[in-house]
């Protein structure tokens, strides 16, 4: 049976809340695809999105993956949350190095800069070349509403590793609420109040979905049962997110034993592990919606920066301090508190993948049309080593990449990963990096 089809894709449902215009992006419905659900109705392929995800301080040695190359490995201990995605979506890279060519290693700096720019920095703060995400964004991001989205879960806009040059830093959004308003509210200013921003409480309480009801109803009349189910799931996800954000803006109920605090103006952000996790999860849900609706095709999400300052509420020892000062457990032989923080980081990454995988797209889900690279700053935080910094790719990139592999770099330059990523994302580039990081050798094992 031929399914209903419109001649062109409508990207936004439009309406108003509180006198201000709002918009809700639409995912790639069957209505917009070919009959097999593998490409757009025009014949163009579904877009492939690119993202970076960063966590600080790597793994506890021996607690990330089991031994074995190729498909003969598993995620263990700190990475267990990723195991459901290992075979179908993930490649894990180890033993790729950062040759220093005689330069001093800037602790918690040189590692991530070399991975993202293909060059070793001359000192702290020096960004020797554009980061690869900006190169990819120039290739695939120009036709979307947001060329890229930079997000930090720690509450600090400086915690973004996206640079066009040393003096051109893409600062991070630190508030899930503000990202929500960017996606649904503030850039849809009403004609009578040009430039005005909606009251977030009004917008969240009434919901952008109520504001676009007329457009929603018209759309519903022209779609099939599969698209109706997909829209119901999508709109439910939007409303659940609004309710979570609204709750974060509400004061707690008064109790007899305490004085009612003032109502906060925004979601609390900070470096406590619970706060970082909550902000990260909200960002992940918003990202999933933004990417599914093709609002952006490039993102950079940071769980915690290099030399992670994340800590448990009420304590003074941060993740970074513990990685140096915590003594190993006498029986277990490793730093148990440090390992716990590492586990919290990768658990958050797993929850982000759950969000992306929950969104159907074409004949698969969002991860089928994504290429995410997960990076960190060091292989062993205690020694600040830039030898064998672990990293991962996640996603099938629209069929452009093989998955389920552990790739042992055998001490080859880490820039090979970056070159491979850019080539997979259609950047016309045959070599990348400088000095000993210069490479012309992509990782052929993951290229079909």
> In sequence order, what E strands does 167-238 have?
168-169
Least confident of 18-32, 179-193, 291-305, 366-380: 179-193
The answer for 228, left when phi > 0, alpha when psi is -120 to 50, beta otherwise, is alpha
Q: Which residues contact 234 (CB under 8 A, 6 or more apart)?
A: 27, 289, 292, 359
Predicted confidence (pLDDT) at residue 326 exceeds the cutoff of 50: yes
Least confident of 45-54, 224-233, 370-379: 224-233
Output the six-digit token pair for 172. Answer: 């991070």
Cβ atoms of 265 and 277 closer than 8 Å: no
The answer for 19, left when phi > 0, alpha when psi is -120 to 50, beta otherwise, is left
Distance separating the N- and C-terminal Cα atoms of the chain: 34
Classify each residue of 306-318 as buried b or exposed e, where b means 16 or more C-beta atoms within 10 Å of its C-beta: bbbbbbbeeeeeb
pLDDT digits (tens, 9 = 90+) for 191-201: 334 444 557 77
Q: Which domains does the chain have, with CATH numbers?
A: 11-45+176-251+264-268 (no CATH), 50-174+271-446 (3.40.720)
Q: Which residues contact 63 (CB under 8 A, 6 or more apart)?
A: 76, 77, 78, 334, 339, 342
* pLDDT level of residue 143 (50, 70, 90 thresholds): confident
pLDDT digits (tens, 9 = 90+) for 44-79: 899 999 999 999 999 999 999 999 999 999 999 999
Element (H, E) at 226: helix 225-248
Indicate the pTM of the whole model: 0.90
Cα dist from 41 to 36, 64, 221, 296, whole Å: 10, 42, 19, 20
Classify each residue of 205-236 as buried b or exposed e, where b means 16 or more C-beta atoms within 10 Å of its C-beta: bbbbbebbeebbeebeeebbeebeebbeebbe
């Amino acid at each position: 049976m031929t399914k209903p089809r419109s001649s062109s894709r409508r990207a936004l449902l439009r309406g108003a809340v509180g006198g201000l215009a709002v918009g809700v992006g639409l995912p790639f419905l069957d209505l917009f695809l070919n009959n097999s659900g593998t490409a757009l109705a025009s014949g163009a392929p579904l877009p492939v999105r690119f993202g970076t995800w960063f966590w600080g301080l790597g793994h506890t040695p021996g607690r990330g993956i089991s031994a074995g190359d190729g498909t003969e490995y598993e995620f263990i201990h700190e990475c267990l949350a990723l195991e459901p995605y290992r075979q179908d979506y993930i490649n894990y890279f180890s033993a790729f190095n950062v040759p220093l060519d005689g330069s001093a290693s800037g602790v918690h700096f040189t590692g991530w800069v070399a991975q993202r720019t293909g060059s070793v920095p001359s000192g702290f703060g020096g960004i020797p070349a554009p980061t690869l995400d900006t190169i990819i964004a120039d290739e695939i991001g120009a036709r979307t509403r947001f060329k890229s989205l930079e997000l930090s879960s720690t509450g600090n806009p400086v915690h973004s590793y996206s640079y066009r040059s040393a003096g051109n830093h893409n600062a991070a959004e630190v508030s899930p609420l503000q990202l929500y308003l960017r996606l649904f509210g503030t850039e849809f200013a009403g004609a009578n109040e040009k430039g005005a921003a909606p009251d977030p409480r009004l917008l969240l309480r009434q919901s952008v979905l109520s504001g676009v009801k007329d457009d929603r109803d018209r759309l519903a009349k022209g779609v099939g049962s599969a698209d109706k189910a997909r829209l119901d799931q999508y709109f439910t996800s939007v409303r659940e997110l609004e309710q979570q954000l609204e709750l974060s803006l509400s004061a707690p109920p008064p109790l007899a034993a305490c004085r009612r605090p003032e109502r906060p103006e925004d979601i609390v952000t900070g470096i406590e592990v619970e706060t970082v996790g909550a902000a990260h999860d909200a960002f992940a849900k918003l990202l999933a919606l933004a990417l599914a609706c093709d609002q952006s095709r490039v993102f950079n999400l940071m769980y915690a920066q290099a030399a992670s300052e994340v800590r448990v509420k009420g304590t003074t020892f941060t993740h970074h301090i513990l990685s140096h000062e915590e003594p190993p457990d006498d029986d277990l032989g490793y730093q148990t508190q440090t390992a716990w923080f590492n586990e919290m980081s990768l658990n958050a990454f797993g929850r982000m993948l759950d969000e992306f995988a929950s969104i159907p797209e074409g004949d698969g889900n969002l991860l089928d049309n994504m290429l995410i690279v997960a990076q960190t700053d060091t292989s062993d935080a205690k020694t600040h080593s830039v030898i064998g910094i672990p990293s991962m790719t996640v996603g099938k990139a629209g069929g452009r990449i093989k998955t389920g592999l552990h790739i042992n770099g055998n001490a080859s330059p880490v820039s090979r990963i970056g070159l491979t990523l850019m080539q997979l994302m259609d950047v016309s580039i045959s070599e990348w990096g400088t000095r000993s990081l210069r490479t012309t050798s992509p990782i052929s094992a993951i290229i079909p």
